[in-house]
Amino acid sequence: MKNNVIAIAIDKYQNVTRLNNCTSDLNKILDILITKYDFEEENIVKLYDENATTENIFDALEDSFAKQNSGENLVIFFSGHGDFDDKLDLGYFIPFEAELYKKNTYIPNTSVLNYIKAFEYRHVVLISDSCFSGSIFSYSRKTRNSHERLYEIPSKWAVSSGRIEEVDDGIPGENSPFTQSLIAILSSGTHNISISELTNQVVKDVADKYEQIPRGAALQNLGDKGGEFFFKIKTKKITKVQDKDFDSKLPSTLNEIILEYFNFQEKLEIAENNNNSATSRRLIEELKYIKKSLDRDMIRYFELEKSDSKFLDEINSTLGVNIKNDLNELKSYRIKKQEKVRVQDYLEARRLKDVEESIQEKLTKLFNKKKTNFIHKLGNSEENIVSDYALVSLLKDIFSTGLSYSKNIVIEDIFKDIFFYKLAKDLGKITKYRFEEHFEEYSRNIKNIFDKEIAIENNNENIMYEEFARNYVSEFRKK
């Protein structure tokens, strides 16, 4: 269920005493909600400092009213000055341009509450960290016990940093007591937190340490139906798949990871456009983990496909010879050689290595006669990317000894790169034109790198290849 947010925070008032921590407080809360709970940055409207005028605040409320959906939620945050007129029994939010003691420049709580009453969202929550914000509870009833089934029932709630009293803004550069408690509870939460549970904890935390007493309750006469809003932990889309059914589930899992990757890329772009460096750093770190998971699962998928015997049959068919016995013999000598090295019988290990190399030379000669046929099979269709990997990887295993780590990395990077773009194209995240450009590059690289690998391997020269590998990896990392 979509969570919409109107976030209002004012430190730098035009005509009223400035505050210290309102914008930083709200940014920290929003970062936690976006990171840990089911909130997305694109659904948040921020009105900070000079943007938090009376006109802009009401425009945001009007816009939310026009776009409301009964299947969505709305959370309104206000962090700034507040006031209360005990003669009128009326509380106020103080916008950016308000003039001190001129009530006609303030926003009466009732004006905001009227919108809350008219909203048809599933849940509406108002969280206010301001002086006298407890005055909003003239329309309230006692906090009820929480149960997650209440999430399905509409509700209208408010949480305030105090009653009808002044509240502490906190030490400059730190958090207000109210926000400090919110941050601590939300950041340490391990389960979905109901608005009543959050309220009860905040009241206890703040009241035990400070003079102010926060309050939270349902707004009884404003359309509350007895339900509750929950801060729901984000569900993990990247799930661990059991080995036994990894083969069938992996393609859909890869799609989920790709979608998650682009989702975080979009969030990062928004954060950078808003000059939100803290969120940007966090998202960049998250993208690294997503990319690492994606790389791991793609290679695992490739390796599963490679285990299919049809690719070895294809190699035999292209060579015109069944090399199965040679491969088994080669494998046997390698195992024996490693065992002799382990027991430090280096003389016998050297003899076994000579036999291994003679078998390898025989296989390499077979391959060189048909090398062009193999190269022509590669990079011809996007539908064959995975089978291309299987073929290249098997040929590499069969006809190359002692491949350097950098060679294996480059080969894997070429395939991970193009497979990523194919999945992104199939999911509608990039255009077919962008994919086609990358596919042409892939086709050139895989034919080129494979051709060089065998030729250089035969001549026992690695300089040309290593230079090619370094250049490719450098270009790949720029993407």
Range of the domain at 315: 308-478
Q: In whole angstroms, what is the distance from residue 82 CA to residue 283 CA?
A: 34
| Confidence at residue 97, expressed as pLDDT on a 0 to 100 scale | 94
| Residues 186 and 199 sit within 8 Å (Cβ to Cβ) | no
Q: Tell me which residue has tokens 């979509």.
A: 2
pLDDT above 90: percentage of residues in the chain: 27
> Is there a single domain that holds both residue 70 and residue 193?
yes
| Confidence at residue 290, expressed as pLDDT on a 0 to 100 scale | 87
- The more confidently predicted of residues 458 and 202 is 202
| Confidence at residue 53, expressed as pLDDT on a 0 to 100 scale | 95
Q: Which of 13-17, 30-34, 265-269, 315-319 has the lowest mean pLDDT?
A: 315-319
Of 185, 201, 231, the residue that ends a domain is 231
> Is there a single domain that holds both residue 221 and residue 251?
no
> Is there a single domain that holds both residue 248 and residue 396?
no
DSSP string of 297-352?
A: HHHHHHHHHHT-THHHHHHHHHHTS--HHHHHHHHHHHHHHHHHHHTT-HHHHHHH
Residue 92, pLDDT above cutoff 60: yes
With bands split at pLDDT 50, 70 and 90, how would you rate the model's confidence at 247?
Answer: very low
Residue 386, number of CB atoms within 10 A of its CB: 19
Q: Domain for residue 32, yes or no?
A: yes
Q: In whole angstroms, what is the distance from residue 16 CA to residue 52 CA?
A: 14
> Is there a single domain that holds both residue 250 and residue 343?
no
Instruction: Name the DSSP letter for residue 139.
Output: S
> Is there a single domain that holds both residue 332 and residue 428?
yes
Q: What is the mean pLDDT of residues 132-156?
A: 58
Q: Domain for residue 236, yes or no?
A: no
Q: Which of 56-60, 113-117, 366-370 has the lowest mean pLDDT?
A: 366-370
> Is there a single domain that holds both residue 369 and residue 414?
yes
| Confidence at residue 70, expressed as pLDDT on a 0 to 100 scale | 78
> Mean pLDDT, the chain, as a whole number?
78
Question: What's the CATH number where 210 sits?
Answer: 3.40.50.1460
Burial 413-432 (b: 16+ CB within 10 A, else e): bbbbbbbbbbbbbeeebbee
Q: Domain for residue 427, yes or no?
A: yes
- C-alpha closest to that of 134 among 199, 229, 214, 41: 214
Residue 154, pLDDT above cutoff 90: no
Of 262, 287, 305, the residue that ends a domain is 305
Q: In whole angstroms, what is the distance from residue 368 CA to residue 458 CA?
A: 9
> Is there a single domain that holds both residue 297 and residue 165?
no
Q: Domain for residue 11, yes or no?
A: yes
DSSP 3-state of 282 = helix
Residue 342, pLDDT above cutoff 60: yes
Greatest Cα pair distance in the chain: 103
- C-alpha closest to that of 298 among 417, 404, 388, 384: 417
Pairing mode, if any, of strands 107-108 and 90-93? antiparallel
Of 276, 305, 334, the residue that ends a domain is 305
Cut 0.75: pTM above it: no
Q: At what angle do helices 385-399 and 346-377 cross, to 10 degrees?
A: 150
> Is there a single domain that holds both residue 257 and residue 349?
no
> Is there a single domain that holds both residue 50 and residue 107?
yes
Q: In whole angstroms, what is the distance from residue 94 CA to residue 97 CA?
A: 8
CA atoms within 13 A on the CB side of 252: 9
> Is there a single domain that holds both residue 49 and residue 75?
yes
Q: What is the H or E stretch that residue 406 is in? A: helix 405-426
Q: In whole angstroms, what is the distance from residue 50 CA to residue 57 CA?
A: 11
pLDDT above 70: percentage of residues in the chain: 77
Q: Domain for residue 237, yes or no?
A: no
Q: Domain for residue 116, yes or no?
A: yes
Q: In this structure, what token pair is assigned to residue 116?
A: 């809350």
Q: In whole angstroms, what is the distance from residue 13 CA to residue 450 CA?
A: 66
Q: In whole angstroms, what is the distance from residue 202 CA to residue 215 CA?
A: 8
Count of the separate structural domains present in the chain: 3
Q: How far apart are the first and last CA of the chain?
A: 34
Q: Domain for residue 292, yes or no?
A: yes
> Is there a single domain that holds both residue 175 and residue 254?
no
**Strand spans (E) along 130-241:** 155-160, 193-194, 215-218, 230-231
Q: Domain for residue 160, yes or no?
A: yes
DSSP string of 145-159?
A: PP-GGGGGS-EEEEE
| Confidence at residue 439, expressed as pLDDT on a 0 to 100 scale | 93
Residue 475, pLDDT above cutoff 70: no
Q: What is the mean pLDDT of residues 247-254?
A: 60
> Is there a single domain that holds both residue 297 and residue 316?
no
As beta bridge partners, residue 138 has: none
| Residues 104 and 136 sit within 8 Å (Cβ to Cβ) | no
